[in-house]
Each structure stands twice: as C-alpha cells, then as structure tokens.
Amino acid sequence: MSRFLLWLAVFFRICAKPKFQFRRAKSQADVGAISDSEVVVITDGGHDKWACLKCPGGCGEVIRLNLSPKRRPFWRARQDRLARPTLEPSIWQQNECGCHFFVRDGEIVWCGSDS
C-alpha cells in the first residue's frame, strides 16, 4: 500500500521521487539482489537486524548497518507512509570512497568536508 501511495504522490507531483525506497527481507540472501534505489532491512524473529544499501558514492559497495542496539555501533531505520527510509546516525564509508552522508526521507543528504 505504501508504494502505491508513493506512486500517487509522485504522479500528482505532491513530492519528488526519492532516491531510496524501503524494503523488508527475511534473509541476507536477498541482499544480493539489492538495487541502487532501495534500503533493504533484514528482519529475523520480528526484529530488525541489518539495513543494507548500495553506496551512493559510486564505489558500488553494499553497506550493511547494524540495527541491534545490543551491538555497537548501531543505526536506527524507519520508514514513513510513502515507504521512504530514514537512517540515523550518518553513514561514513571508511574505504577509498570515503563518502559521508545521511539518508532522510529517502534522500541522500551529503555531509560537508568539515564533518
């Protein structure tokens, strides 16, 4: 239902099409089929375990973010009624890409070089 609402909102120009959409999966195997435009949240036993997305910085790496507050560091993932994801806190790639960004309401918010 939320994807249909997003489609309607974009169609009627209530909002722009977001960079990312939210999707749930039950296993890590589903991460192999992740597209450039989705945040996949892996659930197990009714609990969110991981949020996975392709790096928007161009390196193509799949970023896996821990969602369990029992382990550090951890992130929080939520979606709004239009299936747009928000991830908190920021994501800072520690590879050669080095990009630093937030995902808010399905959009990438880049952090400045002084972050």
Q: What is the pLDDT of residues 38-92, one digit of tens each?
A: 999 999 888 999 999 999 998 889 999 999 999 999 999 999 888 899 999 999 9
Q: What is the value of pTM for the model shown?
A: 0.81
Contact 20, 106 (CB under 8 A): yes
Q: Which residue has the higher pLDDT, 9 or 80?
A: 80
Give the integer Cα–Cα distance in Å for 114 and 106.
24
Please state, in angstroms and rounded to a whole number, the distance separating the CA atoms of residues 68 and 74.
Answer: 6
d(CA 30, CA 18): 22
CA pair distance 106, 115, nearest whole angstrom: 21
The 10s digit of each residue's pLDDT in 54-67 is: 999 988 899 999 99
Confidence of residue 31 (pLDDT cuts 50, 70, 90): low
